[in-house]
Amino acid sequence: MMGTTHARTESKWSSKRWCAAATGIALCVSVSGIACVRRTMIITTEPPHARVFLNDEEVGQSEVSTDFLWYGDYGVIIRKEGYETLQTHWLIEPPWYEVIPIDFLAEVLWPGRLHDVHKRHFELKPFDPPGAEELVSRATELRARALDARK
């Protein structure tokens, strides 16, 4: 009978130890940040050193590199003196390992780091100021529309 009690106590302790070890490992992995995916977008322009805005927030001058948190559609605005302002969208698609339910493995269980880099190049057109005739034409049209709106 003593042998049976001893075996029960021993198995009880081993299950408690297993739970403590599993909890400790999970805590270490989550706190240490070992398992994670870093997402980076790199924007280059021609001409270089243009101001870059993502979703109406300036991120720097090109060539610019910035980390991002989510995949999807980003509003991109690029400005440089002497060039037309470029307003466009950039749809960033997730890689295969960031698709549900696989993303859980990449974000939580994968023992290493993954780095997802997206790069895009934009070309700006030189600014061509309108001539005097075009300015007068636009002003006349705008005046006519304003007078029609008053009626």
Expressed as residue numbers, the domain containing 21 is 1-32
Beta-carbon contacts of 113 under 8 Å, excluding residues fewer than 6 positions away, are 34, 35, 36, 37, 38
The separation between the first and the last C-alpha atoms of the chain, rounded to the nearest angstrom, is: 105
Helix (H) or strand (E) holding 7: helix 2-32
Domain annotation covers residue 139 = no
Are 98 and 43 contained in the same domain? Answer: yes
Question: Which of 13, 19, 18 lies closest to 5, judged by CA?
Answer: 13
Confidence of residue 72 (pLDDT cuts 50, 70, 90): very high
Using alpha carbons, list the distances in angstroms from residue 83 to 44, 98, 134, 135, 136. 15, 37, 19, 19, 23
Number of residues that this document lists for the chain: 151
CA-based diameter of the chain, in Å?
Answer: 109
Are 3 and 63 contained in the same domain? Answer: no
Looking up residue 117, the CATH number of its domain turns out to be 2.60.40
Tally of structural domains, the chain? 2
Are 63 and 108 contained in the same domain? Answer: yes
26-43 pLDDT, tens per residue? 555 554 455 488 899 999
Are 24 and 70 contained in the same domain? Answer: no
CA dihedral of 61, 84, 88, 119, whole degrees rounded to 10: -40
Are 16 and 53 contained in the same domain? Answer: no
Confidence of residue 8 (pLDDT cuts 50, 70, 90): low
Confidence of residue 59 (pLDDT cuts 50, 70, 90): very high
Mean pLDDT, rounded, for 3-20: 59
The answer to whether the peptide bond before residue 126 is cis (omega within 30 degrees of 0) is: no
User: What percentage of the chain exceeds 70 in pLDDT?
Assistant: 77
Arithmetic mean of pLDDT over the chain? 83
The pLDDT of residue 140 is: 93
Are 15 and 49 contained in the same domain? Answer: no
100-142 pLDDT, tens per residue? 887 787 777 777 788 889 999 999 999 988 888 988 999 999 9
More confident call, 94 vs 112: 94
The residue whose two tokens read 């780095």 is 115
Is a pLDDT exceeding 70 seen at residue 13?
no
Domain annotation covers residue 146 = no
* Contact criterion met (CB below 8 Å) for 112 and 29: no
Q: What is the C-alpha R_g of the chain?
A: 29
